[in-house]
Amino acid sequence: MEGTVRIQSKAHHNVVLKAIPGHFVTPNSHVNYFLDMATLKCRLNEASATAKALSEQIAATTVVDTIVCIDGCEVIGAFLAEDLTRAGIYSMNSHNTIYIVTPEYVNSGQLVFRENMIPMIKGKNVLILLTSATTGQTIVKTGQALKYYGAKISGISAVFSAANSVMGIPIKSLFTITDIPDYKAYDPEGCSLCKEGKPIDAFANGFGYSKIN
C-alpha cells in the first residue's frame, strides 16, 4: 500500500518496522496502521538482527526452556534461541537446549499442543514470542492455554507492543507507541474510523493483510 512509513529502531539501526496507514480490521480490534513484519520474519538478515535485539533485552534476566512462536515468528524464534544459548542463558532442560514450538489452533480459536509436543511445554519456562501486541488478547489466550498444559510463563517478547504488560508480566519490545505516536486501536463496536465513515482497507492479522478492494 502507498504511504508506508519506515521506522528504525533507536537502539538497533538494522531493525526497521514498516507501518502502513489505513483502516484495518484485526481479530481483536480496528487499527489505523498495519505493521508489516514480513521481511523481519522471513528475510534471513532481518530475522537474525531482530532476534539479536530481542535477546539483549532478556538474556540477563529470563530463564527460557521453550519459545512459543505466535504469528509466524519461527525464524526469529530459532535465531533467538541460538542467541540466548550463546549468551549462556540458564535453562532447566535436561537436554540443555531451547525448544521452538508453534501452537495449533482449533476452530474455536483455542490454542492446543498435541501429545508429542506437551513434553516441550509442561513444567517448562516458556517465553511467548509474537510480532505485535495491541490489545493483549492474543497473549492472554496464549497464556491461558500454556497454563492448561502446566507451563510457567517466564517472559513475553514482541517486535511491537502497545501495552507495557499483560497478565502482570512485562512485555519486552523493540518498538512501542512512542515510535508511532498516532497509532490507535479501537474496539470494533466503537471504532472512530467507522463512525467517521472511513472505509475498511483490509483485513489483517499477524501473517499479513488482505485488501477489501
CATH of the domain at 176: 3.40.50.2020
Q: What is the pLDDT of residue 97?
A: 85
Q: What is the pTM assigned to this prediction?
A: 0.91
Domain of residue 188 covers: 5-211
- Closest by CA position to 159, among listed 132, 141, 127: 132
Report the alpha-carbon distance of residue 13 to residue 3 in Å, rounded. 21
**Sequential pLDDT tens for the chain (213 residues):** 568 999 999 888 899 999 999 999 998 899 999 999 999 999 999 999 999 999 999 988 899 999 999 989 999 999 999 999 888 765 565 567 899 999 998 876 788 999 999 999 999 999 999 999 988 889 999 999 999 999 999 999 999 999 999 999 999 999 999 999 999 999 999 999 999 999 999 999 888 899 987
Q: C-alpha angle 60/66/72, rounded to 5°? A: 105
| Those residues with Cβ within 8 angstroms of residue 137's Cβ, 6 or more apart along the chain or in another chain | 27, 28
- Closest by CA position to 181, among listed 36, 32, 27, 50: 32
Radius of gyration of the chain, Cα coordinates, nearest whole angstrom: 17
Number of domains into which the chain is organized: 1
User: Are the beta carbons of 18 and 6 closer than 8 angstroms?
Assistant: yes
Report the alpha-carbon distance of residue 117 to residue 192 in Å, rounded. 42
Report the alpha-carbon distance of residue 150 to residue 125 in Å, rounded. 10
Q: What is the pLDDT of residue 93?
A: 56
User: Are the beta carbons of 191 and 117 closer than 8 angstroms?
Assistant: no
